[in-house]
Amino acid sequence: MIEARRLHILRAVADHRTVTAAAAALYLTPSAVSQQLTALEQETGHRLVDRGARGVRLTPAGEILLRHTHAVLAQLERADAELAAYRSGAAGTVTVAAFATGIALVVAPALALLAAEAPGIRVRVQDAEGDASLPMVLDRHVDVAVAVEYRGAPGADDPRLTRVPLYAEPFDAVLPLGHPLADPDLPPLAELSALADDPWIGPYPGNPCHDVVVLACEHAGFPPRLEHQSDDFRAVVALASAGAGVALVPRSALRGTDLSGVVVRPVGGAAPTRRVFAAVRCGAEEHPLISPVLAALGGAAAAPGTTGVR
């Protein structure tokens, strides 16, 4: 008989690619993870992982078991949800990880909705960058992630996750007041290539917004010359105000920011866009505590003025 907790370990090793990283995610020691993998191999009668200098790789037998692991763990999440519903578990705590503007835009309004509609549910919020919250869900550190699409993100068909689309918002061009194109009366900026020769300000590599900015510029025919980097969009706007360069900033991140030293111009055509979604472990969407949280996030995202207004 295969123990479910060992399947959790197998998936963590597959996700993190090393025993050490999987152990850290699961709050175990590397030796404990190795022992559980060995026990799982004994239970199945197959070698499941190859250990090398660069990490751990699943064998063909390990890949087969991993496919079944996704289904088994999702079904266990559904069983937990149904048992919680049987207990009428409309009271408890749900942990949500979200990036800062996502917290302001949908998580905080969702808390207000839940306070009125499901007062027994307590939500704990953790600030996490848009690419960090999905691993936190998969590693069972949080229940819900509010995340953004990014290069290398688990796709919509990933068997480990259930995703709920929330909103999409454009990036606007932020230009210093002295910039030749810094005229708020001009129409939307037709081509980003008009900014090809400017110094740029943007997020660090690894931040999903970095990918959006770089890809948008590459599609316009040039690599952006990123001379200044910050993951704080208030700092990005402040640098643009000082004449340090130009930037692309998500529209919601401009709310409440001092824009007195810049001109904000929409980008015409296929504007670069940040797509935001909520994600839970597959099967957990039916849990009587998590389902109302997802519904509240969706309601907050659908509220008038959620996106597109500065």
More confident residue, 206 or 166: 166
Residues 264-273 have a mean pLDDT of 87
Q: What is the pLDDT of residue 119?
A: 87
Burial of 112 (0-12, 13-18, 19+ CB in 10 A): exposed
Nearest to 235 by CA among 271, 267, 262: 262
User: Tens digits of per-residue pLDDT, 21-77?
Assistant: 989 988 899 889 888 888 888 888 888 888 877 788 899 988 998 888 888 888 888
Instruction: Kindly report, residue by residue over 79-138, the tens digit of the pLDDT.
Output: 887 777 666 656 788 999 999 889 999 999 999 999 998 888 899 999 998 778 999 999
What is the percent of the chain where pLDDT is above 90?
50
CATH number of this structure's domain 88-166+277-302: 3.40.190.10
Rounded average pLDDT over 268-291:
90
Q: What does DSSP assign to residue 105?
A: I
Q: Could you give the residue range(s) of every CATH 3.40.190.10 domain in the chain?
A: 88-166+277-302, 168-273
- The reported pLDDT for the residue numbered 299 is 94
pLDDT at 309: 44
pLDDT of residue 85: 63
Q: Where are the beta strands (DSSP E) in 182-272?
A: 199-202, 225-229, 247-250, 262-265
Residue 97: its pLDDT value, please? 97
Give me the architecture of the 4-83 domain, per CATH.
Answer: Orthogonal Bundle (1.10)
Which residues are paired to 263 by β-bridges? 175
The fraction of the chain above a pLDDT of 70, given in percent, is 96
Q: Has residue 204 got a pLDDT over 50?
A: yes
Q: CA–CA separation, 184 vs 186, rounded Å?
A: 6
Over residues 5-27, mean pLDDT: 88
Q: What is the pLDDT of residue 310?
A: 40
Q: Is the pLDDT of residue 288 over 70?
A: yes
Tell me: pLDDT of 162 over 90. yes
Distance from C-alpha of 133 to C-alpha of 144, rounded to nearest angstrom: 8
CATH fourth-level superfamily of 168-273? Periplasmic binding protein-like II (3.40.190.10)
Is residue 121 left, alpha or beta, with left meaning phi > 0 and alpha meaning psi from -120 to 50?
beta
Burial of 80 (0-12, 13-18, 19+ CB in 10 A): middle
Q: Binning pLDDT at 50, 70 and 90, where does residue 163 land?
A: very high
